[in-house]
């Protein structure tokens, strides 16, 4: 398959308010090249740092238990022919609370985030608590994210690169018909390995045109609600992600959340989330003017 490179725009010096208007509200992806400036993690975090500070910490990856020091050795030796296991979607605060002071998630670019507001409904409270958590990813050259997807419940995502380089493949929502969403989980594609798709089985995939670009250390990719993406690492890599929901994507989030509710609870869930969304919108208008 011939991948057409149409790089996502890279911006520097844009204010949080302009970012909200031009990208979050417009549902357009962008790479922010200076959002991480001044974060202690940038230039401090490295694979060696994790191996030295937490050598015996263990993680379960693909059914196998790994000591972090051994995993880092594999990551540093990783290549496309023999890629190392990928430590991904690990909640930073749960596993490495000592590193929280190295990041600055209070940045205005990540707000408003209605997922961080209080919820009486226990199901949504737990879901949003987990969904808005900062997650850590450590991987090696040649390893990629295991599936082409858009983030669950139509949340926006910020992908922050602190060490190494990642190649991204991004498809707009209008290309969904070419990407064969799974029937059981429509935010996941049947075409997991986009470089080796069976075009006899999935012929429309040949029409898909991704934006292809490299995320460099210090850069942050904003992936809007409903945008398909996957990635492959070009070197040992350390990154973080977080998810955001607010007025710009709440309608889609609400539809997804209600659809996942039990039939008996859908009317109640829809009413609760509609009321919560209205309350959050009023709070934003009063406090932020948006």
In CATH, what number is assigned to the domain containing residue 206?
2.60.120.650
Q: Is the pLDDT of residue 188 over 50?
A: yes
Note whether residue 203 is domain-resident.
Answer: yes
Q: What percent of the chain has pLDDT over 70?
A: 98
Note whether residue 210 is domain-resident.
Answer: yes
Note whether residue 255 is domain-resident.
Answer: no
Report CA 266 to chain centroid distance, whole Å: 27
Note whether residue 290 is domain-resident.
Answer: no
Report CA 260 to chain centroid distance, whole Å: 21
Q: Is the pLDDT of residue 2 over 80?
A: no
Q: Is the pLDDT of residue 6 over 60?
A: no
Query: Residues for the chain: how many in total?
Result: 290
Note whether residue 237 is domain-resident.
Answer: yes
Return the pLDDT at 234. Answer: 98
Note whether residue 289 is domain-resident.
Answer: no
Decide: 175 and 208 in contact? Cβ < 8 Å.
yes
Return the pLDDT at 288. Answer: 82
Q: What is the pLDDT of residues 122-166, one digit of tens each?
A: 889 999 998 899 999 999 999 999 999 999 999 999 999 999 999
Lowest mean pLDDT among 110-119, 187-196, 240-249, 280-289: 280-289
Note whether residue 24 is domain-resident.
Answer: yes
Decide: 23 and 10 in contact? Cβ < 8 Å.
no
| Count of structural domains, the chain | 1
Note whether residue 280 is domain-resident.
Answer: no
The whole domain housing 98 covers: 10-246
CA distance 284 to 287: 5
Q: What is the pLDDT of residues 64-77, one digit of tens each?
A: 999 999 999 999 99
Q: What is the pLDDT of residues 264-274, one digit of tens each?
A: 889 999 999 99
Look up the pTM and report it.
Answer: 0.94
Alpha-carbon dihedral sign for residues 45, 24, 149, 123: positive
């Amino acid at each position: 398959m011939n991948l057409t490179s149409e790089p996502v725009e890279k911006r520097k010096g844009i204010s949080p308010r302009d970012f909200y208007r031009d990208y979050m509200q417009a549902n357009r992806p962008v790479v922010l090249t200076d959002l991480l400036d001044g974060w202690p993690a940038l230039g401090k975090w490295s694979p060696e740092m994790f191996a030295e500070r937490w050598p015996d910490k263990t993680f379960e990856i693909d059914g196998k238990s790994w000591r972090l020091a051994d995993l880092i050795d594999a990551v540093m030796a990783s290549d496309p022919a023999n890629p190392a296991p990928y430590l991904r979607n690990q909640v930073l605060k749960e596993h490495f609370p000592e590193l929280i002071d190295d990041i600055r998630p209070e940045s205005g670019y990540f707000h408003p985030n209605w997922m961080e507001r209080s919820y009486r409904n226990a199901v949504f409270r737990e879901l949003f608590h987990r969904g808005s958590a900062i997650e850590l990813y450590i991987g090696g050259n040649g390893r990629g994210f295991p599936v082409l997807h858009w983030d669950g419940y139509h949340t926006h995502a910020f992908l922050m690169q602190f060490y190494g380089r990642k190649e991204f493949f991004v498809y707009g929502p209008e290309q969904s018909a070419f990407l064969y969403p799974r029937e059981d989980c429509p935010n996941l594609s049947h075409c997991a390995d986009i470089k080796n798709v069976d075009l006899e089985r999935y012929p429309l995939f040949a029409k898909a045109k991704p934006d292809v670009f490299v995320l460099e250390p210090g850069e942050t990719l904003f992936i809007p609600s409903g945008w398909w993406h996957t990635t492959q690492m070009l070197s040992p890599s350390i990154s973080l992600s977080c998810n955001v929901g607010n007025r710009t994507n709440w309608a889609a989030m609400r539809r997804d959340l209600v659809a996942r509710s039990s039939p008996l609870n859908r009317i109640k869930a829809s009413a609760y989330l509609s009321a919560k969304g209205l309350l959050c919108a009023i709070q934003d208008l009063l406090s932020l003017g948006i």
